[in-house]
Structure 1
Amino acid sequence: MPSAIHLVPLDTTTKHHDHDHHQIVIGVDGHAEFEIEGLGGSIAPLSGCIVPASHVHYYEGVGDNRHLILNLPPTSFPLAGAQQELSRLFDAPLFFSLDEALTRYLDFLVQELARLQEGAPQPLMHQDMLASTFLSCLNVRMQPSRQHSSGLKRIDLDALDRYIQRHLSQRLNVAHLARQACLSEAHFNDCFRRQTGITPYQYLLTRRLRAARHLLLSTRLPLSEIADQTGFSSQSALSHAFRRSFGHPPSALRRPTPPTILTSDG
């Protein structure tokens, strides 16, 4: 499946779904609200978000709006072969802003899409090439030159766990963890992946879900309060993440066990 670029308005009622391709959403006109597996943020013109494949996300356009949507299957040209390194952009959900140079490229993309909609001929892989250029430029800005593995710092996971536990209700993100480790976010991501085999976002989400599971089993707190105490932006965000991780909704842990019926031999 090739990549695809669309310029569309987002529905002004809240929708949610997930899909098996990566996605980048960029504001052109108007605003939108996004929540991606518990990470919430706003998109204004010249800002956007990264939605990794299989991540449940809620979204809602605000008033009149237009957003540029890049749909990127993991095996599409912009993420395959020699460009496979660009797939690291989708390690975790992320909100970002465009600098002046990327703003000019966004203007070009919008004009190019308008030209194609007017019936201009579209060469084979044209949208793939447009998406590939954008991803490469975004990657340069978000993933500064990486240090060789010999220079990667070993992260104190015990200290990081204590920090997460103390601040879990504060909507922690990867940038907070990187600052705690005294590393740039890009270097922290590299160190963490090499040391643990997973991304910092996956690690943080696991800690949130374990804490939520403990509170479900050991307290009678309402689910909305548990979501707040474990850093999820809403009760629904916790429920979706919980179901994806454990295969059942949080409420399943609180359903009473049916009583055992004893029978006599007469």
Structure 2
Amino acid sequence: MTRIFSWAAQVSDRDATVASLKAAKGSFGAFAQVTAETEAEAHAASEAGIEMLVCRASNVAKVRKGAPRAFITAALGFANAITDEEILRTAFAALIDGADAVLTGRRLEVVSLLASEDIPVVGHLGFVPRKSTWVGNIRAVGKTGDEALELFHKFCRLEDAGAFAVECELVPARLMAEITQRSSLVTISLGSGPSAEVAFLFSSDICGETDTVPRHARKYGDLASLNRQVEAERIRALSAFRTDVAGAAFPQDSETATIPDEALEKFLNEVDR
């Protein structure tokens, strides 16, 4: 744990910093990152020893409250910050709320814009879901020689633009191993094999919030079953309430307020006069 000043100029402890992430270059699996959008999710991840969290920029304050020591990356939404001024305002607001870095899949000029303000920028390469129409379907990126070479050039351009790290999504593992040793970028692997400084999975996949998970993920919990139990119990309780209302079994005397006889009598005398 390291003590720093946050972007809000507050003395803060962090499980990771930009400096420690860069110093870990070549130490694969040195850090773990998961998603968190609520205070509860962030707290659980922090208690589990997860050093890094990523969330929407609008949720940084809640996530920071749940995980005071985590390295938080704020994802800048494509639609929430469009112009350069909006991008900067959104980024600085997220940093003041407690973020340590920002994530963007926008053009290189945006990366340079942010980096020129000394904002730690994480890029996004490989399979970028919102841009999947360009690769035709949901698939790994870099499986042909030409595509692998183009991907490497994107790493180089992202590095030149000023990013310090990159989320690498669905890059073939052997290609990822070759690229990461040829780049000074801190690599964050999401479905791109073990050759990265940071291993990243979505909390929803880890905790089993759905019955199926992507091929690159692993389900460690079964919240889906628990959620079904919660939903069934909610319906059971609500149904019982409705039945009692229909049968005049709710409310009972013990569940209602009372008024003394003399007070009610006085009220009735006054009203009926």
**Range class of TM-score, shorter chain:** under 0.3
Structure whose alpha-carbon radius of gyration is higher: 2
Which structure's relative contact order is higher, taking Cα pairs within 8 Å and 6+ residues apart?
A: 1
